[in-house]
């Protein structure tokens, strides 16, 4: 699975959009981009995933660049409960999810 690069931390004002970037320059054609988050002391929570096209669900939007070397997770209206560590993962469907160190998002009141 390709490795990813994420900023270690970010702040976002409550009610504003949170845009979390991820670089995955070595991604191959059949690798999906997955996003999980982990709220303190809880199990990782699946957010969204995509291959080439942008994706949206009830939690977030995923924007993948045309060359697929980077992506952005967008939380449209961040709340205090969105404070968590966000992990960007690329995978081919192998059994292992490589979580890395993620981005610690702090939503500020």
Which residues sit at the interface with another protein, rule CB under 8 A?
Answer: 34, 41-46, 49, 87, 93-102
- Closest to another protein by CB, 53 vs 95, is 95
Nearer to another protein, 66 or 94 (CB): 94
Exposure letters 29-66 (e unless 16+ CB within 10 A, then b): eebbbbbbbbeeeeebeebbbbeeeebeeeebbbbbee
We find the least distance from the C-beta atom of residue 40 to another protein, in angstroms, to be 11
- Supply the minimum distance, in Å, between the C-beta of residue 92 and another protein: 8
Nearer to another protein, 4 or 70 (CB): 4
Q: Which lies closer to another protein via its Cβ, residue 47 or residue 107?
A: 47
Q: How far is the CB of 51 from another protein (least distance, A)?
A: 11
70 near 24, Cβ under 8 Å?
A: yes
CB of 37 to another protein, least distance (A): 11
């Amino acid at each position: 699975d390709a490795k990813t690069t994420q900023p270690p931390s970010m702040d976002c004002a409550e009610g504003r959009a949170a845009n979390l970037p991820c670089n995955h320059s070595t991604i191959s054609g059949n690798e999906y981009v997955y996003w999980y988050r982990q709220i303190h002391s809880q199990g990782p929570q699946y957010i969204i995933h995509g291959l080439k096209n942008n994706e949206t669900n009830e939690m977030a939007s995923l924007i993948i660049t045309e060359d697929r070397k980077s992506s952005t997770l967008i939380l449209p209206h961040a709340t205090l409960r969105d404070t968590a560590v966000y992990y960007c993962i690329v995978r081919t469907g192998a059994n292992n999810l490589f979580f890395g160190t993620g981005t610690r998002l702090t939503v500020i009141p």
